[in-house]
Structure formats: structure tokens, C-alpha cells
A and B are shown apart, each in its own frame.
Chain A
Amino acid sequence: MDLSYSDEQVMLRDSAERFVAANCGADNLRKMRASEEGFSRAYWKQMAELGWLALPFTEDQGGLGGTAVDTNVLMEAFGRGLLLEPYLTTVVMGGGALKAAGGRDDLIGKIIEGDLLLAVAYAEPQARFDLFDVATTARKDGSGWVIDGHKAVVLHGDSADKIIVSARTSGDRRGKDGISLFIIDRGAAGLERRAYPTVDGSRAAELFFNSVKVGADALQGGEGQGLAILEKVSDDAITALCAEAVGAMKVLLDTTVEYTKTREQFGQPIAKFQVLRHRMADMMMEYEQAKSMALVAALKVDSADPVERRKAVSGAKVQIGKSGRFVGQQAVQLHGGMGMTDELSVGHYFKRLTMIDILFGNVDHHLKQFSAAA
């Protein structure tokens, strides 16, 4: 057994860490969140040139044939740097959906070049974390389809060039069959969006499909075949988010250790107080266990055994949710009033971790998934 990174993975990590150290962080976030798209197109181009947008795609598709562990190497560095570019939504989710559906390697090529941004519109107001709870409908219209519905909190739904949307082609709202995926241009007639900033400094949108007409070629992966693809996309996204969270936790732990060693009260560094020392020891243990579980998810997300995959991914999400909450909250607490400010980076990492806990299902949701799989 060998759980250490390969030389290539170490190189990838170093290059990603150099990139985020030079370009990202809280200062960049404060600047970007006031911008229209919430991220930098220039950085996105650089990420394409570095080959990162090609990482998970096959060599036939023009990609690098990377594994989930490779993606996690990148995501952990992104988490350390509060990177804002839409890697998760375009490459992991959108690209992942196209890869699973097959037949649109032309679009994957454009992703790799940095010329195509995607968003996956899966959530609905009533659905919460159930991917199969789909009220949005697609009905046959000649050879094409007409889509109606409301998709909630679509990450980067404002800047994406194309939207991949789940819609019901048959069955009841909560039926597991009859869900299909469609790809739609941002400018399609009848597609309305209400865009807004999110608490972590990124952006999202409500998407309203008002009798949006699409051609037959908009259907991805076959009629009624959408749920399995969405579940894979969701698991890949969870795996990537777990790695991002590990990166964020690492920074919080390092920053807190550093701060308590320099901040003096009662004539000594506050790191001398036993209650804070034990708190930081707990933070470290949470971090390490989160890191282990993020690795488990990456190693098993592509497993052919559905139980093994479910337990790894949901287990990791539970651990990351709990650890992220503890590490984030205690990092703020130990920074005192300063931890509450927009000026320090601590609060930004804490907010991102809070969002990651909710994304694709919180601790309760994944405990339920985990125990159902066992």
C-alpha cells in the first residue's frame, strides 16, 4: 500500500499552490466579489494554459486522463487560496456531466481551451438535497423539447455560457425514473435569470425556464437517463469539495496557531493558555481526520461497488461537515474580534466551509445516505 503522492501529483500540487499564493487569497476575493462575474477571466485562461482544465478528461477528449486523486490535489490548493474561478461548476460538474453522457467531445474540447463555462442547474426550491426531486418539466415538441421550471441557487449560473439542466420527461415529482438532462445556451429565449452574490464571495443565480424551446440534440445521455449522471456529478463534486475544505482547514489551523503565538494578553502569548492549546490540538485532529476521509472519497468515488462508493463519499461529506464546522468556528473564536472582520482571511474561509457543509447535502443528509447504504 502506498498513500503518498506520485512525483506528478507533487508537481501539480506545487504549481497550484504557487498559482494561488501569487494570485488568490482574501485580498483577491474582496476585489473580485465586487466585479460583475465574481472571478477573473484572465486567471481562467492561465488555468487552461497550465492544463488544469484538461485534467479529468480522457486523452481521446484532449484531456490528461487524471484521476479523482489528481483533481483533489488541485482542489486542496484551490481551497487554501480561496480560488474563485468556476473550476467546480465547469470542469468537475459540467464537464463531468458531458463526459458521463457522452457524445459532446466538441464541448469538452472547448472547456479544455478555456472557451466554455458551464453551470449545472440541479437544485429546486422544494427539492433541497434530493437530486431526483424534479418539478421542472421537458415535454416533447416536434423533434425537440419545451422546458418549464425554476432552478434554485445555480452556482455561477450568471456567467455560464451553457446550462445543463435536469428536467422531468416522465413520472412524478419525486420519481427516480424519468429525469433527463438538457444543455441550453445562456441566451435561449424564455430563460430568465436573477443573479446575486453568495456569502462566500462567489456568485449564483435563480434560473427560470419559461417554455424554453430546445432541439433534439440538447438532450444529453438519453431520455430518462439523467439521474445516474447527476448522481455521479454530485459525488465527484462532493469529493472535490472535500479536498477544497481540507485546504481551507489547513490555512485556518496554520493561521490560528500563528496568531495565538503572537497575540499577547495578560503579559503572554495567548498560545500559552492551556484551554487554547487543547482547542488547537482538537482542531488539528479534526483536520487530519477530514484529510483522511477526503482521500477515501477520492480513492473510491469511481468504485464499481455502489455501496463502497456511497459510504466513502457520504462518509467523507459527514466528516468534512463536522470538522469544517469545528475548525472554522474555533478559528474565528481564537482570533477574537479580529476573526469576525471582513479584513482578515479567517472569516472568508469559515464562510466557505459553512457553504461546503450545505452543498450537495449537509451532515444529516449524508448520515442518512451512509446508513441506508450500509
Chain B
Amino acid sequence: MDLSFTPEEIAFQNEVRAWMAANFPADLRAKVETGEKLYKADLLRWQKILAAKGWIAPAWPVEHGGPGWTPTQRYIYANEMALAGAPDLPAFGLKMVGPVIYTYGNEEQKRRFLPRILGGEDWWCQGYSEPGSGSDLASLKTKAVSDGDDYIVNGSKIWTTGAHDSDWIFCLVRTDDTGKKQDGISFLLIDMKTPGIEVSPIIVINGDHTVNQVFFTDVRAPKKNLIGKENEGWTYAKFLLVNERNGIAQVGHKKHTLRRIRKLASATDMHGGRLADEPGYRQRLAETEVALMALEYSELRFLSGQKTDHAPGTEANMMKVAATQLQQSMSELFIEIAGYYSFPYDGFRDKKGSNEPPVGPAEAGGAMFDFLYGRAATIYGGSNEIQRDVIAKVLLSI
């Protein structure tokens, strides 16, 4: 057992660090540091820089454009990126449908879609949840009926992040409703420009527009865009969900945020001293740091191939619960720094080109914005209640 990196791994870490210092745009860094909202144009610019370097999809196989790194290199890379303040790119193409396509798609689908995902030419969104099917995802009702070379799709998807910015949507659709609910689901790729698709924005608790409801009315989707076999979509859907949860610990980002919290709390007045020195705050900050260490080293153990002792296979579920709870307690520490200045509704963060400075200290900007939206983390991607159910089922063998 050896915790330390090899000389080659340290060289790789230095390479990533040096490249980031030279290539991560300063204006994006500044936006991240003040919690400003990043738009598609910002993210796309960053994606193209990474794509040109060949670092855009660390986990992808080399033949599809991945860099061919070891799991440890991927870990080092993710950590360095986050510590440098690099924003996360939307996962829908790069981490969700991309792996589904290269794992289960046919050659033509791979040729057609994968390069455009890497280069950012196509942006994707995820058509999973429906108004009546949240935690009980397999009960989904959006219907795809065979009609010659096409399916005719009718129904509605909800909580679709970025649908308004997307070129394609990957959808779970019902192609059979005669048997078990999991058995009649197919995985279908649909062009968002197809007639009959309507995107309706949903404004969320922090006033932001990130999610949507997507309506399908007699949408004609070619069968050549079906992934794998008809009625076997649930298998691909689960593969994707595990991938989604695998990345969810976001240890590097949490370290970056905690560093920011510690720095700001050390500079924030409280009771004539500093907030970071207040006993209550200090204790919670330390507890958070311990929780982050536990998360990080659990991730490393699982990354090195270990399974949980009592419920093997539920590592991703466990990480999802631990990581989202930690994220939420960190956001509570953050709004305490802002204090009264967490009150101003900073809708200006959503106004492109506004020159008005934020109300209150810029460094604490976005504290309430993120605290509020962060409440979704224990709901999306399978609520934490559902994750615990999955763990308990394996743990108790029921």
C-alpha cells in the first residue's frame, strides 16, 4: 500500500498545473472566484481549449479521443483542474451520453456523434424524469410508436437542464407497455430542432433559468438514432446513472470551495475578531474538512478497486449521499460569511453585460444563489432517499 504518487505521476501533476496556469483564461477564473454565472459561450470557449489539447474527455477510450490516462492520472487531472478553479463542463454529452454511445452505440452513431460531443459542436440534454416519474423513473410514459423508419414520440420530460441551449436530447421512451415497466423502455437520441418539440423554461428557487420542461407532440425521430436494442434502454440508462454518480463526489471542487471559505472567513469581521476564530464556526469548518477527507479517501479506495464490505456495488450510491450532504453543509458555511449580504437578490448575475458591481463584498457573491440551488443536489440524480433504499436492498439482501 502506498499513498504517494510515483515520480511519473508527480511529473504529470506538474504538467497539468503548468498548462492550466498558462491556458485557463483569466476572465473565466475571475468569474468563478466571484461566483458569477457562466453562460454557454463561456463554457464552450473553455471546452474548445481543452478539446484542442486533447484533455476534454479523460475517461474516454483512446480510439474515441480519450488521452489514455490511468485512473490515478484522471484523479490527478480532475483535482488539479478543480483546484485551479476551472468550471465543470456540462456532463450530458461528455460524461453521460458519450460513454453510452461508445459502449452501446453502432459504428455509424459513434462516427457521427462522438467527435461533435468532444468539440462542443453538439450540446446535449437528458430526457429522463417526467412529471409523474421522478424517483420512480421506470414508470415513465413518454411514448415512442413505430412508424416505418421512424418513431413517433409523444409525452413530456421535466427538469431538463440546459434544454434551451441544447442541440440533442437523449431520451428514455416507452416502446412497450405490456410487461414489467423496466422492460419496455428504449434509449433514443432526438434532434432538438425536430418539429413538435417545445421547450418551456422552469424558473427555480434562486431565480435562475437552468431547467425546463420539454414537450413532444408527434415528434418524428429516426430509428437509426436508437441506441442498442429496442426495449433494452433501462440497461443503458442504469449504466449512465452509475457514471453520473461516479463523478459526483467532486472532491477537487470541494477543496477549492473550502479553501475559499477558509480564506474569506479569516478575513470576515465577527464579534470584534474574525469569523474563522468563532468557536462554533471554527468547529463546523473543521468538521467539514474531516468529512471532505473521508470523502476523498473513500473515493480513492473505490478508485483503486475496493468495494464496500457490506454492500458491494453501492459505492456510487454512497458517494452521492455523502458528497451532496457535504456540499450543502459547505454552502451553509458560505452564507454565514456573507451574513446580511446574502440577502440582496443578485439577479444581476444573470444580466449579460451589466456593469453594476455586486451589492456587498464581491468575494462572497453567489453565496445565497448556490445555497438555494444546492438544495437540488439531494433530489436530482436519484434522491438521497432512493440512494439509501438501493444501499439497504443490497446490504440486507432483499
User: Nearest residue in B to A173 (C-beta to C-beta)?
Assistant: B272
CA distance A105 to B73 in the complex (A): 74
Cβ contacts A to B, 28 pairs, < 8 Å: A128-B339, A152-B340, A152-B341, A197-B344, A197-B347, A198-B345, A199-B344, A200-B343, A206-B359, A265-B133, A266-B136, A333-B379, A336-B135, A336-B379, A337-B134, A339-B379, A340-B375, A340-B376, A340-B379, A350-B375, A354-B368, A354-B371, A362-B336, A364-B280, A364-B281, A365-B271, A367-B280, A368-B280
A:298-317 near B, CB below 8 Å: none
- Evaluate contact between B343 and A204: CB separation under 8 angstroms: yes
Majority SS at the chain A contact face: mixed
Closest 6 CB pairs of A and B: A347-B205, A265-B136, A364-B280, A153-B340, A342-B203, A197-B345
* Contacts A152-B340, A204-B343; A174 near B272 (Cβ below 8 A): yes
- Evaluate contact between A337 and B345: CB separation under 8 angstroms: no
Indicate if A212 sits at the interface (CB-CB under 8 A): no
- Evaluate contact between B375 and A364: CB separation under 8 angstroms: no
CA distance A355 to B371 in the complex (A): 12
Indicate if B288 sits at the interface (CB-CB under 8 A): no
CA distance A238 to B335 in the complex (A): 20
A100: shortest Cβ distance to chain B, in Å? 23
B35: shortest Cβ distance to chain A, in Å? 14
- Evaluate contact between B205 and A350: CB separation under 8 angstroms: yes
- Evaluate contact between B340 and A340: CB separation under 8 angstroms: no
A:272-290 near B, CB below 8 Å: 273, 275-276
Indicate if A218 sits at the interface (CB-CB under 8 A): no
Contact residue range for chain B?
35 or more
Contacting residues, chain A, for B368 (C-beta < 8 A): 199, 354
- Evaluate contact between A126 and B343: CB separation under 8 angstroms: no
- Evaluate contact between B385 and A276: CB separation under 8 angstroms: yes
Beyond the given A196-B345, A265-B134, please list 4 additional residue pairs across the A-B interface where CB-CB is below 8 A: A126-B269, A128-B340, A204-B344, A339-B379
Indicate if B256 sits at the interface (CB-CB under 8 A): no
Indicate if B270 sits at the interface (CB-CB under 8 A): yes
Interface size for A (C-beta < 8 A) is 48
Indicate if A67 sits at the interface (CB-CB under 8 A): no
* Contacts A340-B379, A341-B204, A368-B271; A152 near B360 (Cβ below 8 A): yes
Indicate if A144 sits at the interface (CB-CB under 8 A): no
Contacting residues, chain A, for B211 (C-beta < 8 A): 337
Indicate if B177 sits at the interface (CB-CB under 8 A): no
A:191-214 near B, CB below 8 Å: 194, 196-200, 204, 206
- Evaluate contact between B205 and A358: CB separation under 8 angstroms: no
B43: shortest Cβ distance to chain A, in Å? 22
Query: By CB atoms of chain B within 10 A, which of A153, A199, A342 has the most?
Result: A199
Query: By CB atoms of chain B within 10 A, which of A196, A204, A368 has the most?
Result: A196
- Evaluate contact between A332 and B375: CB separation under 8 angstroms: yes
Indicate if A123 sits at the interface (CB-CB under 8 A): yes
A:303-357 near B, CB below 8 Å: 329, 332-333, 336-337, 339-343, 347, 350-351, 354-355
* Contacts A130-B271, A336-B135, A351-B372; A198 near B344 (Cβ below 8 A): yes
User: Nearest residue in B to A203 (C-beta to C-beta)?
Assistant: B345
CA distance A153 to B380 in the complex (A): 34
Interface residue from A125, A337, A368 paired with B380 (Cβ < 8 Å): A337
- Evaluate contact between B205 and A336: CB separation under 8 angstroms: no
Indicate if B195 sits at the interface (CB-CB under 8 A): no
